[in-house]
Amino acid sequence: MRRARLSLLLVLALSPLVWADRLVVPHVPQRYVVRAGDTLWGIADHFFQDPWRWPGIWNRNLQIRDPDLIYPGDVIVLRYIRGTPYLVDEGPVQALTSPRQNTVVLRPAVRSQALASAIPTLDPNVIGPFLQRPLALSRRAFHRLGYVAGAVHRHTFLSPLSRFYARHLGAHPDKTYEIYRRGPALRTKDGEFLAYETKYVGQARLVRPGRLPELEVVSSIREVEAGDRLVPWRREAPIPYYYPRAPRKRIHARVVAATHDNLNLGTYAAVAIDAGKDAGMRRGYVLRIYSRPRPFYDPVAHETLRGRKQPLGLLMIFRTFARVSYGIIMQARREIHVGDSVATPQD
């Protein structure tokens, strides 16, 4: 059990006057009661026009990575100190009715809740499916994986309960594997190779080890084929608490792929960008998405001009590889496409 009490949680990088101007607008709430199903991102959006600026409900001790947690029933209050806005968690509040005055009095209450009931940064149903899939692998990493060598019973395509032979699993193969298929090569705008994007196919378990290991397909979302790669299965980590923040340095990148086949992308779609750990990308970084400059015709001057890139939304990074990162589109003003650019948010 843990009682999460928050003091001054929002330390703003911008000047107090700028932030005061941004927040002193009509309909900005002064207090909010946390409800089941809320997320930290959603509460930030409830108070601020740009929720990525809010570092979250986090312990201010930078040596402690775990966030201070907030729970349904907590009261979040917006306060100003010398013109700078802060969010304060006043904890759970109990309503008591005074019979004499027929009024309701709010008093602090003692919390007794499991840590698991604290609200997350993002909706787990949104981020969960992407935490371990897809993979972005270098040529060397991809070719070093074990693979499906062929079916045991002369099948071209394999489905659940089908068995197959595998190769290159090593002297001590794992008991469970995830099956992936090589997707398109991810490349920069200039055509430079970044990584192979792999598509999840299914899961298999080892049924007979030896010189030619035999595995059985446990589940699949498409038919398994010879040549598909095998990645040792690891128990999924719990849904992480992300710390939404802008990168410390200027980053310019490009959307190079989407995790599904839709050409027009919107909120909660996952995309890949051509910048990864080598470029300083970290989980929780928030980038602004921009459209490609569109040409337009000036009928008076009789010439075609090139417009400016326009902001389209916000992207939060949730998984990083050496040269590729994956992010969730958290806000989308308009449709987003592969080829649009992303950059460190600026005013």
pLDDT digits (tens, 9 = 90+) for 53-90: 655 433 333 333 444 567 888 888 777 766 666 677 77
- When pLDDT is cut at 50, 70 and 90, the band that residue 149 belongs to is very high
pLDDT digit string (tens) for 248-257? 889 999 999 9
Report the pLDDT value the prediction gives residue 245, as an integer from 0 to 100: 80
In whole angstroms, what is the distance from residue 341 CA to residue 336 CA?
Answer: 10
Alpha carbon 62 to its chain centroid, in Å, reads 22
Helix residue spans in the chain (DSSP H): 16-23, 40-47, 124-127, 139-143
Say if CB 329 and CB 265 are below 8 A apart: yes
Is pLDDT of 13 > 70? Answer: no
Cis peptide bond N-terminal to 134, omega within 30: yes
Rounded to the nearest 5°, which phi and psi values hold at 18?
-60, -45
Q: Bridge-partner residues for 254, per DSSP?
A: 341
Tell me the residue length of the chain.
347
Give strand pairing partners of 97. 104
Residue 23 near residue 85, CB atoms below 8 Å: yes
Segment of 100-104, 125-129, 223-227 carrying the highest mean pLDDT: 223-227
> Is the confidence at residue 10, as pLDDT, over 60?
no
Contact 229, 174 (CB under 8 A): no
Q: What is the pTM of this model?
A: 0.73
